């Protein structure tokens, strides 16, 4: 098996490359800007190629000789990518999608839209497709780190909203499983962490792990939206606010698909907090 892993600047892609290489599989790492890749994040003997999922001119060389692909959800070039994949003889694509596609308003949801469009293109193609649909990443907690380090507090519009945060290492291991075990191919897997937690509970676990109190300031949705305007597009901020409002006091779904795919229970958010506690200390 020769696998192309797209998005190797990200933690999931880089972890998956190492898992495949260490498992004795032939793997090629791909990035839109391979020159910017952290060389320490990838094994030195893994070839790195340019593959911009919005630029069909980069597809041919990246896919040459490839049997399977781990794909990020970029809709702008998906039809050309699938055409190039078929021409190259690719037989299996694993898509990193999102559980947001399971929402009733997926086609209109700004967060779900790109994943939904790519899923539709893949399921309409003759290629064998496996869909990984993770929910909120545990690493989303990094968004609070600057405020915690500077002020010892976090501003939140809905501290009682729920998610079931998943460790990105578990996602990479699930991708490794479906890429290397033919029995797991061709299905859709909703991936979650092992428990539903409120945002306030996650902050509490970060406080315990970092050894310092973290205060929660409840702010209005408008104030939160203004505070993130410099780096979160308005339509994404609106979608995040709508999701958070809808999940106040509503436990998030928890699945056992990580254990089914990897053979071990999903890692807890408490374990993630302990591992990354330094990011939340002054």
Q: What is the mean pLDDT of the chain?
A: 95
Residues 139-148: tens digit of each pLDDT: 999 999 999 9
pLDDT at 100: 92
Q: Do residues 81 and 56 touch, judged by C-beta distance below 8 A?
A: yes
Range(s) for CATH 3.40.50.720 in the chain?
Answer: 2-134
Range(s) for CATH 3.90.25.10 in the chain?
Answer: 138-163+194-253+267-280
Q: Do residues 243 and 110 touch, judged by C-beta distance below 8 A?
A: no
Q: Is 263 helix (H, G, I), strand (E, B) or coil?
A: coil
Domain 2-134 carries which CATH code? 3.40.50.720
**Topology of the domain comprising 138-163+194-253+267-280:** UDP-galactose 4-epimerase; domain 1 (3.90.25)
Average pLDDT on 85-90 reads 97
Q: Which residue do the tokens 């020769």 mark?
A: 2
Count CA atoms within 13 Å of residue 116 on its CB side.
14
pTM of the model: 0.95
**DSSP label at 161?**
B
pLDDT at 40: 62
Residues 61-77: tens digit of each pLDDT: 999 999 999 999 999 99
Token duo for residue 92: 């299996």
């Amino acid at each position: 098996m020769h696998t192309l892993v797209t998005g190797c600047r990200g933690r999931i892609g880089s972890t998956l490359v190492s898992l495949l290489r260490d498992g004795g599989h032939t793997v090629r790492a791909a990035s839109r800007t391979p020159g910017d890749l952290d060389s320490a994040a990838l094994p030195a003997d893994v070839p790195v190629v340019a593959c911009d999922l919005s630029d069909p001119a980069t597809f041919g060389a990246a896919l040459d000789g490839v049997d399977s692909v781990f794909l990020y959800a970029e809709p702008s070039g998906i039809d050309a990518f699938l055409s190039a994949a078929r021409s190259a003889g690719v037989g299996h694509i694993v898509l990193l999608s999102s559980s947001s596609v399971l929402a009733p308003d997926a086609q209109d949801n700004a967060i779900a839209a790109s994943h939904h469009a790519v899923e539709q293109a893949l399921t309409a193609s003759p290629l064998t497709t496996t869909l990984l649909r993770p929910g909120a990443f545990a690493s989303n907690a990094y968004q609070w780190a600057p405020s915690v380090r500077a002020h010892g507090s976090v501003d939140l519009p809905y501290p009682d909203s729920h998610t079931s945060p998943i460790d990105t290492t578990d996602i990479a291991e699930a991708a490794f499983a479906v890429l290397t075990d033919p029995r797991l191919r061709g299905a859709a897997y909703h991936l979650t962490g092992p428990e539903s937690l409120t945002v306030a509970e996650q902050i509490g676990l970060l406080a315990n792990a970092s050894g310092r109190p973290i205060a929660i300031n409840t702010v209005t949705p408008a104030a939160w939206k203004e505070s993130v305007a410099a780096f979160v597009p308005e339509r994404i901020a609106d979608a995040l606010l709508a999701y958070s409002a809808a999940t106040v006091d509503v436990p998030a779904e928890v699945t056992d698909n990580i254990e089914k795919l990897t053979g071990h229970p999903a890692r807890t958010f408490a374990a993630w907090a302990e591992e990354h506690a330094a990011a939340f200390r002054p």
